[in-house]
Chain A
Amino acid sequence: GAGVSQSPRYKVAKRGQDVALRCDPISGHVSLFWYQQALGQGPEFLTYFQNEAQLDKSGLPSDRFFAERPEGSVSTLKIQRTQQEDSAVYLCASSPGTGVAYEQYFGPGTRLTVT
């Protein structure tokens, strides 16, 4: 079946603009994660959803970052008043369950460039 998809794949925003990044997880996957990956670095955890509940948002860098998953499937990561340091690839991953047996499947990411 289809994997995790993300849109847009590329986004250029002027500093101060708001952006919304979309993630379509694999159908039926309970867990959804957002990561931020700066150039030349590994992905860093941002937030975690179990179905529609956001159980962990400890990795969100500031209150300008907001994520939602209202119906427990599609998720949106919103960044308000973008800054240059927000430029990165934003990866979404989903997993069928919540326990240790479950691997995370990654989407291709959205590359955000703030000018």
Chain B
Amino acid sequence: GQNIDQPTEMTATEGAIVQINCTYQTSGFNGLFWYQQHAGEAPTFLSYNVLDGLEEKGRFSSFLSRSKGYSYLLLKELQMKDSASYLCAVREESGGYNKLIFGAGTRLAVHP
């Protein structure tokens, strides 16, 4: 079966750093994505990891450990506009194509 866990809610202060963790148990692992979703909007791509290690992209970094089934998203220099849900999604290879299995999302509230 598939199981993806991430905290339901987090709060942080503008300008600070926040780390959102994600643990997963899936079969046919083919990479892990982080998406940002503002209320009422489409999920938008933030990062992708398929190999162990850290991927950095501006204020956002994502880490993956395949042996531990663990990833985190690190957001630096938080801005008010970063208040959103952050979705961890594992890509599974299934029948010759790849589909995304999402966690429930972490709602991040950034306050002044």
Binding site for B on A (CB under 8 A): 4, 31, 33, 35, 40-45, 48, 50, 55-56, 91, 98-100, 102-109, 111
Residues of chain A within 8 A of B101, CB atoms compared:
45
Is A100 within 8 A of B103, CB to CB?
A: no
Is B42 within 8 A of A108, CB to CB?
A: yes
Q: Which of A43, A55, A109 contacts B95 (CB 8 A)?
A: A55
A56 to B91: give the CA distance in the assembly, Å.
15
Of B10-18, B44-52, B76-84, which stretch is located at the interface? Answer: B44-52
B interface secondary structure, majority? strand
What sequence of 0s and 1s flags, for each residue 14-54 of chain B, a beta carbon within 8 Å of any chain A beta carbon? 00000000000000001101010000111111001010000
Binding site for A on B (CB under 8 A): 4, 30-31, 33, 35, 40-45, 48, 50, 87, 89, 91, 93-105
Q: Given the interface contacts A45-B99, A55-B97, A100-B98, does A106 sit within 8 Å of B104 by beta carbon?
A: no
